[in-house]
Amino acid sequence: MFYDVIIVGAGIAGLYASLNLPKNLKVLILCKDQPWECNTFYAQGGIAVAKDKEDISLHIDDTLKAGAGMCNVEAVKALSHESLEVLEDLISKNTPFDKDKQGNLLFTKEAAHSTSRIIHAGGDCTGRVVHSHLISQINHTLWKNATVTELLMEGNSCCGVSVLTKRGNYNLYAKNVILASGGIGALFNYHTNAYTISAELHGMILENGLELKDMEMLQFHPTVFTKTKHARKMLLSEALRGEGAHIVDFWGKRFLFDYDSLGELAPRDKVARSIFDYKLELAKNSKLTEEQKEVYLDLSPFSKDFFYERFPNIARNLSALGYDLPKDKIPISPAFHYCMGGIKTNHLGKVVGANNLYAVGECACTGVHGANRLASNSLLEGLVFSRRASRDILNQNYQPKWREFPLHSQILQKEQDENLKTLLRKIMWEKAGIIRKKSGLNEALGGVEVMLESNIGRLLKLRLLVAKNIIESALKREQSVGAHFIQ
């Protein structure tokens, strides 16, 4: 089975990469489960774009400020300049973005943006709408229920991937491989990611001597409904606060202004840490009830009609849980949301140190986000850099050093792995999460190293390699910056 291009992942980055590759190429898209079980599908807020050429410099400035001095300036410039081209292409593909009665695009505002520049679709269902639209247009082969278990590396060339499907184990070979496998959500107790997002491809990068970059830079979304039994928690879009929702305590105090003059619209890392800190202080007061120890999202500034029209997905999900909206206040907590770091790539999405291996979307570190991602730049990054990667493949026509690989039948999971995964999520949440201490990070490192020495399956080993890299990266960065906060 030989292809021109294999794409691992069917989120916005993987799908858009495939749409930028012509029909005459033999392209295969692989996804671990159903194609909609990806972070794109759950994205609510929208896609940040420069509204026009005059807004480009402002968008660049906002992105650089959020990144706290750690962004790659050239990558940020490419992101903003090419946002206009990508938007034009999406509109030409009849992507159903929300518009006013005159047919003009509707823009909303989110934290740390100096103007309203975020386009959306289906109200708060942007990811779902865009994903469904793109997947309806793909003209290449897509395999569902296909788990990549190994990168087939020969020197600096990637000859393909080993994949497990319901029909069996296969080695698939390709001239080029694009990784669009998403982030690392499964490493944390509380997260907003699809359950397929587990950092395994990051681990394969490490075991092949390639680099991860800025893995200590992890973003925790401030407003997440965590009162569910599943590890993936319900994201409550930042667009809620952009449109006027407030964060309050039990008594209605907007306490965030005690931490930052921008209140609810401060950068995400500040809002998340402020909520986390405030809840810690409340928890110390034994005289308070459990309800009084909570922090809430106050939706009362919205009319019912506006709320249900603008945020239909959130309204439907919370109403199903018994909340009277927008009257009732919703208990919230921060949860892991996005990894700014990832597989180290150049400005075209090519993995540094590899000849024909690319990484795009959240799994990659292009340098766009620096120490803290500007809200809604994530979907845009997936679009811009997947297009760049596809174009580079078409320009290069690279012929890899090829050989046939033996088909490994590795044990992917062992009986005790589920218990160890639970322990890993707890360690990462408590020791390598929103607020870090050197002592806690060292404890976490010790725990991860013990598990790595245990008799474990391959997929857990890959997760542990990435967890170890995150912890070691956090220990090396001794000063707080952006999303990395160490005491």
DSSP state, residue 153: E
What stretches of 435-479 show up as alpha helix (H) in DSSP? 438-452, 458-476
Place of tokens 């794109």: 40
Q: Whole-angstrom Cα distance, residue 200 to residue 218? A: 17
Concatenate the DSSP letters of all residues of 7-32 into one string: EE--SHHHHHHHHTS-TTS-EEEE-S
Would you call the peptide bond into 334 cis, given omega within 30 degrees of 0 as the criterion? Answer: no
Query: Which residues, including other chains, have CB under 8 Å from residue 404's CB and lie 6 or more apart?
Result: 171
Contact criterion met (CB below 8 Å) for 366 and 75: yes
Query: Which residues, including other chains, have CB under 8 Å from residue 154's CB and lie 6 or more apart?
Result: 400, 401, 402, 403
Residue 268 catalytic? yes
For residue 342, is it left (φ>0), alpha (ψ between -120 and 50) or beta?
A: left
Longest dimension (CA), the chain: 69
User: Catalytic pick from 241, 268, 436, 458?
Assistant: 268
Contact criterion met (CB below 8 Å) for 11 and 142: no
How many residues comprise the chain?
487
Q: At residue 459, what are phi and psi to the nearest 5 degrees?
A: -65, -35
Q: Whole-angstrom Cα distance, residue 76 to residue 299? A: 34
128, containing H or E segment: helix 126-135
Please say whether the dihedral angle defined by the alpha carbons of residues 237, 239, 245 and 246, taken in this order, is positive or negative: positive
Q: Give the residue numbers marked as catalytic.
A: 268
